């Protein structure tokens, strides 16, 4: 019998690991960051940012409130695409810090706010603070520059009709990428006829 050489604990771990691997393979979706039609590494997003001192209302986002003192307004305007339902915009909010060999994080809460009278929404992070960190001994004392995101990121449907407007504390950044779905839908159970 095959289980004679394995202990019960090893056999159970093997079964759980193989089941998890099967689940990951069976339910994974293919998504890639698509190439821009005009060439490699071209952006499909126009990003602008304004503080309270240099704020200039833009035509596409003039209905959104101006940034307050100590706040920066980030505006992401998306190019129009033929099949926008096949795309997604992922947004991460964070800060670039000098860090040691430990894993560092930041804490902050993304609040979705309605734009009164318009039916639009925008996002705001009131404050970003130090978050969890590992406490390993770093024998190499060198610090490296690294983008540290807050734990909440935004995954939004690609919609070129409205800009994505985000208000952050000063010294914070928005980073983003576009995903394109490349796999067709699969069905669970029998296909409807």
Query: How do residues 102-142 score in pLDDT, each as one tens digit?
Result: 999 999 999 999 999 999 999 999 999 999 899 999 988 88
Q: Which residue has the higher pLDDT, 116 or 39?
A: 116
Q: How far apart are CA 164 and CA 48, in angstroms?
A: 11
pLDDT of 10 > 80? The answer is no
Question: φ and ψ at 160, to 5 degrees?
Answer: -80, -5
Contacts of 167 (CB under 8 A, 6+ apart): 67, 68, 71, 72, 73, 74, 122, 123, 124, 125
Q: What is the pLDDT of residues 164-182, one digit of tens each?
A: 999 999 999 999 999 998 8
Report, as an integer, the average pLDDT of 2-11.
54
E strands in the chain:
31-32, 45-51, 71-78, 87-99, 104-115, 120-133, 144-149, 154-157, 164-169, 173-181
pLDDT of 31 > 70? The answer is no
Question: pTM for this structure?
Answer: 0.73
């Amino acid at each position: 019998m095959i289980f004679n050489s394995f202990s019960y604990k090893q056999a159970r771990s093997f079964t759980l690991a193989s089941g998890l691997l099967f689940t990951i393979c069976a339910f994974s979706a293919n998504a890639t960051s698509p190439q821009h039609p005009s060439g490699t590494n071209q952006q499909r997003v126009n990003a602008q940012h304004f503080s309270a001192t240099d704020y200039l209302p833009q035509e596409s986002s003039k209905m959104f409130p101006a940034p307050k003192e100590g706040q920066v307004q980030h505006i992401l305007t998306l190019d129009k695409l033929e099949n926008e339902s096949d795309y997604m915009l992922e947004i991460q909010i964070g800060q670039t810090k000098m860090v040691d060999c430990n894993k560092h994080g930041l804490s902050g809460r993304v609040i979705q706010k309605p734009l009164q009278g318009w039916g639009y929404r925008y996002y705001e992070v009131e404050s970003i603070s130090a978050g969890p960190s590992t406490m390993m001994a770093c024998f190499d004392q060198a610090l490296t520059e690294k983008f540290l995101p807050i734990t909440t990121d935004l995954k939004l449907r690609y919609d070129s009709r409205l800009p994505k407007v985000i208000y952050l504390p000063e010294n914070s950044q928005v980073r983003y990428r576009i995903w394109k779905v490349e796999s067709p839908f699969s069905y669970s159970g029998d296909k409807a006829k």
